């Protein structure tokens, strides 16, 4: 009998060995062809936007702010140079009276002067800043987000934004963009395309400078208002959601976090963190991004996925369509963040 014979097992071993070689080879060829196709599509899209000015531009607001800061600095310097210090006044009085003061007395006078100056600096009333920076808060019930994925993209727009919009549109998916906008014609055009595509725009500040924006509530409002104004000018929209650079809990905002949230909430704005991190900022490859995201999304009924839309995140562009297709096959719906969605907070 052939079945169960030595020859049967030899043929069985050869068949298994052949499959172990052929199947991986075929899969590799398929992935190679797919990636090559995506690369060609991206090249075509890039050529379509090659005419835009993609160079970094100094924004008008940055120039005005720099001039303002320079003026303030010069004014402060001039005031300090023109106004005699307490120690100098003490020295003059000592010369007039003929009495010499000891080093300890001088140190105490300087310390007292410094304390007095600090107390004399008025605290800024942040509630009076930017009287137009208000939105109407949503006070209804949250919508049902069960089994819904929210794809979010931080830090754009960039030279890869149109590529990303292409794949989202191809799969009829709407996403949320937390933008770091600039006052350039190219940026304005991309913001319009995001809005016209039916996607949601949220604010991610204008500078993304942690030390600067988290130094005080006033500094955060200054930066936020700049980004908010750019989006409003470009799209006519008034974004009412935002995301903290680095997330709502980070090493830079421990002292100002609660004050910033309180003031932003008073003005009607709602912030969103995330519960699934693609880690694309680490430069992960296609396979790592794909497997990590699909695995992590299964842990939540409403995954809020963090991606980045900077010009060096090509792998995000390569993988995004495959992730969408896989999540659709798992039965997920897709939505955009808004004040009607219960926010994810750290």
Residue 307, SS3?
strand
Indicate the class that CATH gives domain 144-335.
alpha beta
Question: Which of 9-18, 89-98, 149-158, 329-338 shows the lowest mean pLDDT across its residues?
Answer: 89-98
pLDDT at residue 60, rounded to an integer:
42
- What whole-number distance in Å separates Cα of residue 43 and Cα of residue 159? 12
The per-residue DSSP string of 241-278 comes to EE--TT-SS-TT-TTTHHHHHHHHHHTT-EE---SEE-
List beta partners, residue 333: 148
Per-residue three-class SS string for 155-214: CCCCCCHHHHHHHHHHCCCCCEEEECCCCCHHHHHHHHHHHHCCCEEEECCCCCCHHHHC
List beta partners, residue 23: none
The closest of 199, 182, 272 to 233, measured between CA atoms, is 182
Residue 304, SS3?
strand
- Please write the tens of the pLDDT for every residue from 242-264: 999 999 999 999 999 999 999 99
The domain segmentation of the chain, as residue ranges, is 144-335
- Please write the tens of the pLDDT for every residue from 200-257: 999 999 999 999 999 999 999 999 999 999 999 999 999 999 999 999 999 999 999 9
Task: Give pTM, 2 decimals.
Answer: 0.70
């Amino acid at each position: 009998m052939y079945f169960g014979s030595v020859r049967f097992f030899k043929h069985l071993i050869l068949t298994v060995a052949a499959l172990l070689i052929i199947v991986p080879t075929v899969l590799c060829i398929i992935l190679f062809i797919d990636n090559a196709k995506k690369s060609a599509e991206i090249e075509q899209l890039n050529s379509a936007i090659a005419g835009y000015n993609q160079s970094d531009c100094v924004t008008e607001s940055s120039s005005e702010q720099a001039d303002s800061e320079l003026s303030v600095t010069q004014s402060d310097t001039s005031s300090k140079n023109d106004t005699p210090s307490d120690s100098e006044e003490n020295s003059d009085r000592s010369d007039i009276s003929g009495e010499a003061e000891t080093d300890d007395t001088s140190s105490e006078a300087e310390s007292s002067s410094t304390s007095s100056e600090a107390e004399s600096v008025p605290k800024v009333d942040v509630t009076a800043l930017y009287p137009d920076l208000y939105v109407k808060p949503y006070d209804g019930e949250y919508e049902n987000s069960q089994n819904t994925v929210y794809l979010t993209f931080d830090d754009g727009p960039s030279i890869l934004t149109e590529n990303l919009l292409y794949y989202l549109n191809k799969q009829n998916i709407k996403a949320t963009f937390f933008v770091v906008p600039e006052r350039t014609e190219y940026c304005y055009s991309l913001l319009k395309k995001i809005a016209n595509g039916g996607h949601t725009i949220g604010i991610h500040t204008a500078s993304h400078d942690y030390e600067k924006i988290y130094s005080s509530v006033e500094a955060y409002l200054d930066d936020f208002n700049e980004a908010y104004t750019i989006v409003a000018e470009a799209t006519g929209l008034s974004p009412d959601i935002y995301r903290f650079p680095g997330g709502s809990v980070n090493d830079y905002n421990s002292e100002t976090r609660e004050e910033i949230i309180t003031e932003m909430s008073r003005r009607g704005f709602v912030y969103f963190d995330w519960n699934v991190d693609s880690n694309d900022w680490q430069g992960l490859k296609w396979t790592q991004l794909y497997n990590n995201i699909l695995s992590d999304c299964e842990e939540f009924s409403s995954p809020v996925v963090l991606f980045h839309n900077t010009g060096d995140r090509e792998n995000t562009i390569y993988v995004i369509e495959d992730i969408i297709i896989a999540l659709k096959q798992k039965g997920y719906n897709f939505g955009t963040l808004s004040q009607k969605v219960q926010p994810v907070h750290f």
